[in-house]
Amino acid sequence: MRAMRILALISCICSLFVLCNCQPSYAGSTYRYGGAPVVHSQTPIPQTNNYSYTQTRNKLVPSRPLAQPSKAAPKPQWAQAVCVIDPYTGRVLYGHNADVRRQVASTQKIITALCVCDEGDLDHMVTIETDDRKKGYSTGLQVRSGQQFTRGSLLQAMLTGSYNNVAQALARDTAGTSEAFVARMNARARRMKMHNSHFANPHGLPGAQYSTARDMAIAGCHAYVNPTIRYCVGKQSSTFILADGSPKHMNNTNKLLAKYPWVNGMKTGYTDAAGHCLISSGSMNGQAVVVVVLGCPNRKTLWSESEKYLKWAMGVN
């Protein structure tokens, strides 16, 4: 009898321990350390010399949720769709046409980056092929067939300079073919519960594809808590070493990074079909926010709309 009582006591203690270690939820998934959502079958992000995330940068990982701002959300003046979300809890603070399907241009390179990171091995050498420079893909980084670059350096180039040919090369190398990679993108989107998204290519050029402000905000949350991606998208500029050893300086297409020290990402996009788009993020005082603005008529209005919602969510005057 005494032994049974001891076993019962141990069982109670274990149960209390489990309850005390429960994590907050995000869209039905359990959160990892720092609010990182668990994606089924997601490969842990490898830590490499050039793309590791040091302890000093971990302060960007949100440690507490955002409070609903006391002021009402400002109305969009130019954006066709908006979504403001807390990456710690996944709670939407504000939405405007957030579930309307539309083209999202190069912001979908965030999905491409997540799939590349799922594959891992950022030191893997990628060989550029002729098909990576088809019409439409060749905009940007001047790399040639047969040249080799690390997966990590190409990932940085894609997220900093938004090069379509680099996205194509990463997709083909990662999955074998562009079509197989697109299948991974759509599977990744389903696992992240992006229920109103379908992708047809890794770079965002017009195609039979669509997403929404809410879905891209969800993708932004997953990207934000990925240390490799957060490091890449937070850099105002980067240097890519070409095959002949010469440096190629790249400025980040997200101009808000240079305007506010607390802004730390994330990805721009533009096509005639999508308009000017931006997934942006910011962090301060243990809190973080992801803002998606889609369909602005020009870059000036894109910066203005994004800045307005970043400041509103973070309580910045």
- The token duo for 266 is 């994330």
142 pLDDT tier (thresholds 50, 70, 90): confident
Q: Region 152-164: what's the mean pLDDT?
A: 96
Q: What is the pTM of this model?
A: 0.82
Q: Which residue has the tokens 């390179």?
A: 109
Phi, psi of 14 (to 5 degrees): -65, -40
Contact 232, 122 (CB under 8 A): no
Cα Dmax for the chain:
79
34-63: average pLDDT? 41
Confidence of residue 41 (pLDDT cuts 50, 70, 90): very low
pLDDT in tens, 264-315: 999 999 999 999 999 999 999 999 999 999 999 999 999 999 999 999 999 9
CA atoms within 13 A on the CB side of 105: 20
DSSP count for the chain of H helices, then E strands: 8, 11
Mean pLDDT, residues 217-226: 96
**Mean of pLDDT values over 22-51:** 31
251 has a pLDDT exceeding 80: yes
Give the pair of three-digit tokens for residue 196: 């109103």
Q: How many residues belong to the chain?
A: 317
Q: What is the mean pLDDT of the chain?
A: 84
- The DSSP call for residue 53 is -
Distance separating alpha carbons of residues 37 and 192, to the nearest angstrom: 9
Percentages helix, strand, coil for the chain, rounded to the nearest 5? 40, 20, 40
In the predicted model, is pLDDT for residue 108 greater than 60?
A: yes
Phi, psi of 268 (to 5 degrees): -95, 170
Average pLDDT estimate for 59-80: 92
Query: What pLDDT sits at residue 136?
Result: 59
pLDDT band at 133 (very low <50, low <70, confident <90, very high): confident
**Residue 24 in this model has a pLDDT that exceeds 60:** no
Dihedral, CA of residue 60, residue 152, residue 186 and residue 177, to nearest 10: 180
